[in-house]
Structure 1
Amino acid sequence: MVDGTKITDLESVPLLGSYLFTAEDMFTNEEEVILVRCDDDPGVEAWMNNCPHESQRFDRGDGAPMRDGEIVCPKHGSHFDACTGECDNGEAAGTTLPDVDIAVEDGAVYLTDDDYTYLHAGPAAEDDGPGSTSHLSF
C-alpha cells in the first residue's frame, strides 16, 4: 500500500493536457501542481505549474498545452519534456521543472512528497494580497 494521499484516478489524467491540483508546502503556501502523462513508468509525472523562466502558469484551468510529449509554456513557447521536466529550447532553455513526488497504485495517483500536503483538485484560491512574502521596503 502506498504511503500518501490519493489525488485522483489515473484515468482522470488526460492523454494530452494536464490534471491540476493544489497542495500546501511546508510554509503553508498553496502551490499548483500538474499531473501529465509520460511514456516512462509509472505513466504520469507531477510538476509545479510554473515555467521557471518567468513564473507563467502552464495550466490556467483548461489543461497545460502539450505537443509531442512536451509541456509548452503558453508565454514564450519553451518545451519541457513531460517525463524529465528538462527544457532545451526557447527562453527557458537549460532549466528543469521542479518535480513533486507521486506514486501510482491500483489505478490511482497518490501524492507521496513529504514537502507537500494535498488540498484539493483544481487551482489555488485567488489571492488579492501581495505577490511576494518579502516585507522589505525601500
Structure 2
Amino acid sequence: MVDGTRVAAVDEVPENGSYLFTAEDAYSRPTELILVRCDDEPGIEAWPNTCTHENQRFDRGTGAAVRDGEIICPKHGSMFDTCSGACENGEAAGTSLPDVDIAVSDGGVFLTDDEYTYLSAGAAGEDEDGDDGDDDDIPSSTSHIGF
C-alpha cells in the first residue's frame, strides 16, 4: 500500500497533455500541479503548473501542450523535459521545475510529497461546474505561439 493520497487513475493522465489538480503547499496556499507522461519509470511525473521564467500556467484547464516528451510554456515557448523538469531553451533556459513526489501503484497515481496536501481535481478555485470564476490573479498568455 502506498503512503499518500490518490490523485488520479493512470489512465486519466493523457499521452500528450496533462492532468491538472490542486494541492495545498507547506504555507497553506492552494497550488496547481500537473501530472504528465514520462518515458522513465514510473511512467508519470508531477510538476508545478507554472513556468520557472514567469508565473505562467502550463495547463489552463484543457491540458498543457506536451510534444516529444516536453511541456511547452504557452507564453515564450520554453520546453521542459517531462521526466526531469529541466529546460534548455527559451526564456527559462538553465532552470528546472521543482520536484513533486508521487508514486504509481495499482493503476493509480498518489501524491506522496510531504510539502503538499491534495485538495481537488482541476484548477485552484474551480467550482463544481468547472468554472473558476475570476482569473485576475493568474497571468494570461500574450504569446503568438499556437498549439
- Would the TM-score normalized by the shorter structure come out above 0.5? yes
Identical amino acids, percent of aligned pairs? 67
- Superposed CA RMSD in Å reads 1.4
- Correspondence for 1:86: 86
1:45 and 2:50 matched: no
- Correspondence for 2:69: 69
Moved over 4 A (4+): none
1:112 and 2:112 matched: yes
Deviation string, structure 1 residues 47-90 (Cα, Å, up to 9, x no partner): 00000101100000000001110000000000000000000000
- Correspondence for 2:141: none
> Aligned AA for 1:26?
A
- Correspondence for 2:122: 122
> Aligned AA for 1:85?
G
- Correspondence for 1:135: none
- Correspondence for 1:28: 28
Aligned length: 130
Per the alignment, in what secondary structure is the counterpart of residue 103 of structure 1?
Answer: strand
- Tell me by how many angstroms 1:11 deviates: 0.5
- Tell me by how many angstroms 1:127 deviates: 8.4
- Correspondence for 1:98: 98
Q: Which runs of 5+ in 2 are unaligned?
A: 126-131, 138-147
- Correspondence for 2:12: 12
> Aligned AA for 2:102?
I
Per the alignment, in what secondary structure is the counterpart of residue 91 of structure 1?
Answer: helix
In 1, Cα distance between equivalents of 2:83 and 2:25: 23
In 2, Cα distance between equivalents of 1:26 and 1:48: 14
Deviation string, structure 1 residues 85-108 (Cα, Å, up to 9, x no partner): 000000100000012100000110
In 1, Cα distance between equivalents of 2:6 and 2:94: 32
In 2, Cα distance between equivalents of 1:91 and 1:31: 23
TM-score normalized with structure 1 length: 0.91
Per the alignment, in what secondary structure is the counterpart of residue 46 of structure 1?
Answer: strand
Q: Which runs of 5+ in 1 are unaligned?
A: 132-138
